[in-house]
Structure 1
């Protein structure tokens, strides 16, 4: 992204946030989000917000209209941006409290067979071996994701949410701002991602707009690839519901770098002496698929 484009995005974001820097405007967004009978007329919306001064209410409603609120012939309703803002508010609210765990998990660590525990602290879920200390999962999760679940359910909820993020990343959408998320093959040691279990190379998705990043082992990138899904299904393993610290890590493929410039690698999955190999490029595209037993 050019400096001019980046500056324009930042300016636009600052403008959007400034529109919400008022209790009355947030109350308007909340009232429209909670309404089941939108559009609401001016008087209906004002009554639900509870603002007495009509002029003051009209001023703040006018600031939101066009960006977060849509004015129609029948009244007012939230635009998509307004719905997302309200969703972000809910995602950040959590009545349970921030710190949860440690919670014991099955199966054991794929590296040393020791016990594995999950903790949720500072809005991050960490699944880590108690013996070797290797983190299997370390990712930010909004606290609202866990609202309504019992404590023992949190690891499974975190698993589903994390897999949703991976799916979104593979589709090319930033997990934070929904902007363009570009994946690449990265050599371990060429960056700061050395505290997680990786082979000689790993995958990293990054967003130029918000600078967010998602880093993972290469195998996770292809757990929904048709050839990989079919390969495991032939061995009675259903990858549609993998546990990130269970199936996904216990089926970690072998990664072999076959070219440095351009960077190319072979990703080989193995089950019961049967193998499936993906030939991938530096943009994580699958160039070729080989399964000797099926040939």
Structure 2
């Protein structure tokens, strides 16, 4: 089935969609279109794309270009009266479709480029034991932060290919994932918009090997739990302390504001010593998350589905 037939009403199999990109010449076209769009040079005429390619003949290039039309490219009239003559493309130009734009952006960002494993300096004490033992290990596009002193996992999150190397990674990583974490906690995937499953799980429960990459022991600790998010549609997810799942709760934002503080001042892998978590009951599961500031306290009671069931605030005054 061609992409044009699929767009006419039938669903296009994933093998056909990806098969349309299974050629270096076609990848080059999508990359070229991405650059041209970023520079405001679209629609692009056949002759322009051919000139930017490594193709030896117009006939061969035309074959690959036509394979992209429908799903990744669309034909439009240039409206400039130039009158293309190659292969009967009189006045025809090409633009990226939404799918083509997504592929072009992924290629430009280096999403599909191989990435080496490396250690990432964190420079923060462990929020659980207080020791200066936090370390990060980046492997296969995932940064796992754990504590070498108490052998506990802290976070396991994807690292975008576009993030800077070296010492800038933790800061950029923090800013990038704040909005993603808020979206996951709200029940919607920031990648595809799909429904997100939210649950509290044992901190040592390893489903994707991320904790092991951080040098953290693969074991369940009954005294430690984490918030786990997973998209039903695309499979994206993350693991984080339960505290992070409630940081955007209105009661938390107001509590910090009343004390002249901003909940975003500290990195997501270390929300501060003012926070503590404890398991009040297992059946039903209830996690008590508490923040203490200047003698005042805020307690949130979180169930297994990461819903805040009750809020208690005690002010010293």
TM range (shorter): 0.7 to 0.9
How big is the alpha-carbon RMSD for the aligned residues of Structure 1 and Structure 2? 3.4
Q: Which residue of 2 aligns with 1:252?
A: 275
Which residue, out of 193, 197, 201, partners 1:183? 197
Q: How many equivalent pairs are there? A: 280
Match for 2:241 among 200, 204, 217? Answer: 217
Residue of structure 1 in register with 2:44 after alignment: 40
8 Å CA contact retained: 2:155, 2:239: no
> Structure 2, unaligned stretches of length 5 or more?
1-10, 79-92, 208-217
Contact 2:115 2:140 in 1 (8 A): no
TM (norm. structure 1) is 0.78
- Number of the residue aligned with 2:107: 89
- Structure 1: give runs of 5+ residues left out of the alignment: 1-9
Residues 42/89 of structure 1: CA separation in 2 closer, same or farther (3 Å cut): same
Is the 1:107–1:245 contact (alpha carbons within 8 Å) kept by the matching residues of 2? no
Distance 1:125 1:249, change over 3 A: farther
Contact 1:185/1:284 (CA < 8 Å) preserved in 2?
Answer: yes
**Is 1:157–2:172 an aligned residue pair?**
yes
Question: Quick check: 1:204–1:213 contact (8 Å CA) kept in 2?
Answer: yes
Q: Give the secondary structure class of the aligned counterpart of 2:315.
A: helix
- Give the distance between the partners of 1:165 and 1:145, measured in 2 at CA: 15
Deviations 1:23-81 (A, max 9, x none): 11111100100012111122222222243422332222222222112322222111222
- Give yes or no for the alignment of 1:234 onto 2:238: no
1:144 aligns with 2:144: no
1:105 aligned counterpart, secondary structure: coil
Distance 1:17 1:172, change over 3 A: farther
Q: CA separation of 1:180/1:123 partners in 2, compared to 1, >3 Å: closer, same or farther?
A: same
Deviation string, structure 1 residues 205-244 (Cα, Å, up to 9, x no partner): 1122233332222111111222212212323331123212
Kindly state the Cα deviation for residue 94 of structure 1 after the two structures are TM-superposed. Answer: 9.9
Q: Which residue of 1 aligns with 2:294?
A: 272
